[in-house]
Structure 1
Amino acid sequence: MNSAEHVLKGEAFFQKNLLLYVNRATETYLLPLHSHDFIELAFVAEGKGFHYTEQEVQKACRGQLYFIPVGVSHVFRPSSPHSLKEPLVVYNCLFTTALLDDLAFVIPDAPIAAYLEQIKNQQVPAFSMTDQNGSIENLFLSLHREYNLPQTGSGSYLLTLFIQLVVTLYRLQHDELHFPVTRQTQFLQILHYIQQEYAQDLTLSHLARTFDWSERHLQRLFKTHTGQTFHHFLQNVRIQKSCVLLIQQLHSPIPLIAEQVGYHDTKTFSLVFKRIIGKPPGGYRQEAASTGAAHAGD
């Protein structure tokens, strides 16, 4: 594709002195090839399609992350014109070089500070990578939830999540190139597996058979690395996923949400949800919808 004439301006996205913008979009054929005066991180959360830049076209599928610098022309396209049947869903994190200037004063690690400086000075070209362990997806989900359901301290919390995202990108680009797979990395793969298969009937014995570890050792690793038992870790993953679905699917009944995250008994789901979140699913959805409407009216 040729260079884009359509340029997106940051002033249309950045509000209230927050130099960061996060959204979730179902890609269509409406947006033309475009560039922008800000930096973009785009994560494919669902479906498949294509990512076009000036020089090439890449297949886009779930788990792919794209870094698009200032001035680079690009666009996503679903694999089919029938986007409702085969949607390509992308989370976008947009940020300015001014944000990187602000963060330079709070980053104590020299390699990360240098990485931010390189991004700011457009010394990092466009790239893509695969989310191997689910860490990128989790950060995008948290960023999107915090941005769209702001609470006291959301500005600070968003910046901490953004810093985590930058550090994660740096590690994936650098550290994993030099170190072989370790037992800790294998355990991270188990956590990623749970993040992907949480709606299934997961048990500790199933994980032990799948990854060839003893149940006792696996339970000990969960306590050491997550501070929770496997059972409580799985509960937290399912409930956090349900929080996202309750907002995304405002008209879906609670029993359907429960089933989508692995609970076949709505009463059990509601009890666990209230224990972890502090309110029942219906109350959480109502409060989230009210907060979102109030934020939209600001």
Structure 2
Amino acid sequence: MNRTHEVFERQYFLQENLHMLVNRFTEDFLVPYHAHDFIEFCYVAEGNGFHHIGQETFPIHKGLLFVIPIGVAHVFRPASSERSSKQPVVYNCLFDPHLADQLSIFQELPIQEHLSSLTNNASSYYSVFDRDGSIESLMLQLHQEMSANKLGSKTMLYALLNQLIVTVYRRKFEAQEDERNESAGFHLVIDYLEHNFNKAVTLSELSHVSGWSSRQLQRLFLKHTGQSYGAYLQSLRIRKSCELLRGSSQKIAIIAELVGYASIDSFNSTFKKNVGLTPTEYRKSSL
């Protein structure tokens, strides 16, 4: 169910000669749930609480930047109404479609298209994390320049806003590229195990093969398979043993050795624990 919301119009918020505004706001429970006819970059500088956007709610903390396209309703809220609660402090950079068009002249085509999508309901909201402080630095400079309002401030504001747009764009889409590269690299790790599951493959060996540290590999196994490395290798060996039990007449002791178990007792125990049947019972059930 869609929530009702107010619409904040640019003529009441943006400086007419600049087509933009940068402010620092301590979030409370008074600002209504709202959409606006301008683009908004919101950077969480302090405190914690929640960001309600569309039909979703996100916990917020320092370092998160949200990009809110035109027409998307949202509002920030503190975590609690208690005085002891640290209210969120958010830097907001607002700019209208006219300025977006002007700035896009200096941008490369993918960023031009991205800016256009933020103004014509072709893009969803998203967030990025300021892992190195570069976004916070730009927001602080924008706010200082907006407050200074002196000779050259307009030029500086537009230059800083262009830089912010590029930085956020890179952070979003480079992260997606990193994710694709990670998935491709992890697929090679899985492929290596498919061909070497019967050996005593250690995390150190996989680290040498992949270039990831043992700790990174443990994290990636949990992320991509939902299992620790040891549990994944064990399930892979059991899966291969099931294939051999169904597709060959080899003795169970030989199959245990082929899938990497030095002890038949260890194999029988692990197989029963994972499959619910002994290897002999499984073979009979598969006939």
The TM-score by the shorter chain falls in which range? 0.5 to 0.7
Q: Which residue of 1 aligns with 2:230?
A: none
Contact 1:4 1:35 in 2 (8 A): no
**Residues 76-132 of structure 1, C-alpha deviation per residue, up to 9 Å, x if partnerless?**
00112135751210011111111111123x315222222222223332211112111
Q: Compute the RMSD of aligned alpha carbons.
A: 2.0
Contact 2:70 2:118 in 1 (8 A): no
* CA distance in 2 between partners of 1:65 and 1:83 (Å): 25
Q: Which residue of 2 aligns with 1:9?
A: 9
Check if 1:163 corresponds to 2:162.
yes
Moved over 6 A (4+): none
Q: Which residue of 2 aligns with 1:56?
A: 56
* CA distance in 2 between partners of 1:83 and 1:129 (Å): 29
Q: Percent identity?
A: 42
* CA distance in 2 between partners of 1:15 and 1:25 (Å): 17
> How do 1:32-51 and structure 2 match up within 5 A?
32-51=32-51
**Residues 187-229 of structure 1, C-alpha deviation per residue, up to 9 Å, x if partnerless?**
xxxxxxxxxxxxxxxxxxxxxxxxxxxxxxxxxxxxxxxxxxx
**Residues 16-53 of structure 1, C-alpha deviation per residue, up to 9 Å, x if partnerless?**
42111010000110112111111111110001000012
Amino acid in the other structure paired with 1:71:
G
Contact 1:27 1:83 in 2 (8 A): no
Instruction: Determine helix, strand or coil for the equivalent of 1:100.
Output: helix
Measured at CA, do residues 67 and 4 of structure 1 come closer, stay the same or move farther in structure 2, by a change above 3 Å? farther
> How do 1:1-298 and structure 2 match up within 5 A?
2-82=2-82, 85-104=85-104, 106-179=105-178
* CA distance in 1 between partners of 2:117 and 2:29 (Å): 33
TM-score of the superposed pair, with normalisation by structure 2: 0.59
TM-score of the superposed pair, with normalisation by structure 1: 0.57
* CA distance in 2 between partners of 1:156 and 1:83 (Å): 41
**Residues 261-292 of structure 1, C-alpha deviation per residue, up to 9 Å, x if partnerless?**
xxxxxxxxxxxxxxxxxxxxxxxxxxxxxxxx
- CA displacement at 1:177 relative to structure 2: 3.3
Aligned length: 180
